[in-house]
């Protein structure tokens, strides 16, 4: 019976060579490492943790983002968020499970095709060289990925470190063939590998780096599969294999936690690809802010001192360029982040809450409009500025807006609009006074920055406009009355505002 059993054992798939039931004389040794579960238990645990992690991550991010809202979260928003996170979580669970198990049939097929004899294994020179050439290609692709991405992105280094860690421990596990269940010799490393690859793919979705990441992923899996068939089977509880397997799991947990909890750009970068499809996150987009939200956004931005790349139209609409939309379309509130000079940092006072009904996501504008925050004020019936410091602040705003323009874009138009108070001044007195005030400010900017008529790419258009006593910002003063703030209102109306329009060099 014993010889028959061993004779039949040679005919089964090599993936069952470790079974103590088929090989009683090769049962697992007893010793100090008995408390360590076998590789199959680790595979089941890693799968469950990956599935739970995918759903919990989305839930945590949803409520983390909502926590930014100053006014809190209503009941309707909470219900919508729960359904949203549940739907995205289920999708993530399915993708994670598919990623962990999709290689199992391929590994079984490799097990049958690469074993030419019953008990023999392929010679090392043939398949070994193929494996090491694959590793070489993987290394070159990682170097190319770093060259195209840049070394200043700290989060990319974190993810690539996770990839290299999973490849290294996966290769070690494959060489030792620590495979107790038959088709999971690299299962522990694949859990970390799949998570890191998924995050990298989301960060560079539909970009040049996307193909490189795919090549790195499949090259690593293929090399590990080849190495798995080049070594004699060993047990997972041996000291030489248990330590790296446990270390791989211990290194995986901090990697996941660092992506969620660390204060940096990892969370917005990794979620950009997912939330951008639903309008929940946009890295840099153009917006049209309407009604009261436009006025509130403009006032809050002026109070907090952030340069707002925006222009106000005559109807009060605020066109905002290159703003981050962190949340939009769920409930009745939207969260914006206005990127200032330090757009890569986390600027807490750069977040604004607006009514979703007043927010429109629009296609990128062919021109970028920037309204300077400083307004120059004048005395009654005068075209001379009151305060020289306002002119200096205006020139500083002009220089700051020019630096914030996209690379390769040039200033093509400067709109200077003058305003007057509503006190009567003849038939066209207020209209002419507004033009005179606009001309004085335009002359000062032209002299300060040497704005030649032909600015490298054609004609720089300087448009002088006058609104007379018509104030589109909604602060029009009454003609008469003894309101206590009437004089202050009139003084605020006697002003000049400036808009800059930037366009790309090539139409």
11: in domain: no
pLDDT band at 274 (very low <50, low <70, confident <90, very high): very low
pLDDT (0 to 100) of residue 11: 39
Q: Does 283 lie in the same domain as 395?
A: no
Q: Are residues 142 and 290 in the same domain?
A: no
**Confidence tier at 402 by pLDDT (50, 70, 90):** confident
C-alpha to C-alpha distances, 313 to 84, 310, 339, 493, nearest whole angstrom: 36, 10, 21, 17
Query: CB burial class (10 A; 0-12, 13-18, 19+) of residue 341?
Result: exposed
**Of 337, 364, 391, which residue constitutes the final position of a domain?**
364
Q: Is residue 181 part of a domain?
A: yes
Same domain for 291 and 158: no
CB 477 within 8 Å of CB 493: yes
- The DSSP bridge partners found for residue 370 are 500
What confidence category does residue 471 fall into, taking pLDDT thresholds of 50, 70 and 90?
Answer: low
pLDDT over 70 at 119, yes or no: no
Q: How confident is the model at residue 467 (pLDDT cuts 50, 70, 90)?
A: confident
Distance in angstroms between the alpha carbons of the first and the last residue of the chain: 85
Q: Which domain holds residue 311?
A: 279-364
pLDDT in tens, 53-87: 555 555 555 555 555 454 555 555 555 555 555 55
Whether residues 45 and 165 fall in one domain = yes
Same domain? For 228 and 360 the reply is: no
Residue 1 lies in a domain: no
Neighbouring C-alpha atoms within 13 Å toward the C-beta of 64: 12
Q: Which of 66, 72, 57 is nearest to 280 (CA)?
A: 66
CA distance 341 to 350: 11
Under 8 Å between Cβ of 277 and 205: no
Average pLDDT across the chain, whole number: 62
| Most trustworthy range by pLDDT among 38-52, 203-217, 417-431 | 417-431
Instruction: With beta carbons less than 8 A apart as the criterion, state whether 321 and 307 touch.
Output: no
Examine the domain organization and report whether 412 and 439 are in the same domain. yes
pLDDT level of residue 437 (50, 70, 90 thresholds): very high
d(CA 233, CA 111): 13
Count the domains in the chain.
3
| Confidence class for position 384, pLDDT limits 50, 70, 90 | confident
For residues 239 and 264, membership in a common domain is answered with: yes
8 Å CB contact between 157 and 150: no
Query: pLDDT tens digit string along 208-260?
Result: 566 666 666 666 666 666 665 555 555 544 555 555 555 544 554 444 444 44
% of the chain surpassing 70 pLDDT? 30
Q: The CATH number of the domain where 466 resides is what? A: 3.30.1330.60
> 178 and 266: one domain?
yes
Task: Report, as an integer, the average pLDDT of 137-166.
Answer: 62
Any domain includes 8: no
**Residue 141 domain-assigned (yes or no):** yes
185 with 71, same domain: the answer is yes
How far apart CA 196 and CA 137 sit, in angstroms, is 19
| E strand or H helix that includes residue 496 | strand 495-504
Q: Which of 348, 364, 380 is the last residue of a domain?
A: 364
Measuring CA to CA, which residue among 107, 155, 150, 142 is closest to residue 217? 142
Query: Does 242 lie in the same domain as 130?
Result: yes
275-322 residue pLDDT tens? 444 455 565 678 888 888 887 887 776 666 665 677 777 677 888 877
Stretch among 1-10, 396-405, 423-432 having the lowest mean pLDDT:
1-10
Shared domain check, 441 and 320: no
Name which residue leads in pLDDT, 94 or 403: 403
So what's the pLDDT on residue 465?
A: 85
Distance CA 220, CA 507 (A): 44
Which of 273, 293, 313 is where one domain is finished?
Answer: 273
More confident residue, 21 or 81: 81
For residue 170, the model assigns a pLDDT of 56
Rounded CA separation 400/25 (Å): 78
Look at residue 6 and tell me if it is in a domain.
Answer: no
Instruction: Give domain status of residue 29, yes or no.
Output: no
Closest CA to 214 of 205, 127, 155: 205
Whether 265 and 240 map to the same domain: the answer is: yes
pLDDT reading at 175 higher than 50:
yes
| Residue 393 resides in a domain | yes
């Amino acid at each position: 019976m014993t010889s028959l059993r061993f004779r039949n054992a040679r005919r089964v798939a090599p993936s069952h060579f470790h079974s103590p039931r088929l090989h009683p004389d090769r049962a697992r040794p007893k010793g100090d490492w008995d408390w360590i579960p076998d590789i199959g238990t680790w595979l089941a645990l890693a799968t469950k943790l990956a599935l739970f992690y995918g759903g919990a991550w989305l839930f945590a991010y949803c409520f983390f983002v909502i926590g930014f809202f100053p006014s809190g979260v209503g009941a309707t928003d909470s219900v919508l968020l729960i359904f949203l996170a549940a739907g995205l979580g289920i999708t993530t669970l399915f993708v994670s499970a598919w990623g962990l198990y999709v290689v199992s049939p391929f590994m079984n097929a490799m097990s049958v095709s690469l074993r030419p004899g019953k008990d023999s294994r392929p010679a090392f020179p043939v398949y070994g060289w193929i494996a090491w050439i694959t590793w070489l290609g993987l290394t070159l692709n990682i170097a190319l990925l770093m060259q195209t991405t840049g070394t200043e992105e700290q989060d990319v280094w974190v993810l690539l470190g996770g990839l290299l860690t999973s490849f290294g421990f996966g290769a070690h596990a494959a060489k030792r063939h620590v495979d107790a269940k038959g088709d999971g010799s690299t299962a522990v490393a694949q859990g970390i590998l799949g998570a890191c690859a998924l995050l990298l793919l989301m960060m560079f979705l539909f970009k040049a780096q996307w193909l490189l990441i795919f090549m790195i992923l499949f090259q690593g899996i293929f090399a590990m599969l080849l190495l798995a068939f080049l070594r004699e089977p060993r047990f997972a509880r041996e000291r030489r294999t248990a330590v790296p397997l446990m270390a791989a799991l211990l290194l995986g947990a901090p990697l996941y936690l660092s992506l969620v909890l660390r204060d940096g750009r990892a969370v917005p970068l990794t979620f950009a690809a997912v939330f951008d499809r639903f309008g929940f996150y946009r890295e840099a987009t153009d917006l049209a802010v309407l009604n009261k939200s436009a006025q509130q956004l403009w006032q809050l931005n002026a109070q907090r001192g952030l340069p707002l790349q925006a222009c106000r139209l005559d109807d009060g609409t605020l066109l905002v360029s290159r703003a981050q939309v962190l949340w939009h379309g769920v409930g009745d509130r939207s969260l914006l982040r206005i990127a200032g000079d330090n757009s890569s940092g986390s600027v807490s006072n750069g977040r604004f809450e607006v009514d979703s009904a007043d927010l429109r996501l629009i296609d990128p504008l062919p021109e970028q409009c920037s309204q300077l925050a400083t307004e120059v004020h004048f005395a009654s019936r005068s075209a001379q500025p009151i305060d020289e410091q306002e002119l200096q602040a205006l020139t500083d705003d002009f220089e700051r807006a020019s630096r914030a323009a996209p690379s390769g874009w040039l200033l093509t138009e400067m709109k200077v609009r003058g305003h007057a108070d509503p006190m009567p001044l003849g038939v066209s007195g207020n209209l002419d006074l507004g033009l005179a005030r606009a001309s004085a400010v335009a002359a000062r900017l032209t002299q300060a920055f040497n704005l030649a008529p032909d600015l490298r790419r054609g004609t720089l258009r300087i448009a002088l406009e006058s609104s007379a006593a018509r104030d589109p910002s909604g602060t029009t003063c009454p003609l008469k009355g003894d309101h206590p703030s009437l004089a202050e209102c009139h003084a605020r109306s006697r002003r000049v505002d400036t808009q800059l329009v930037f366009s790309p060099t090539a139409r």
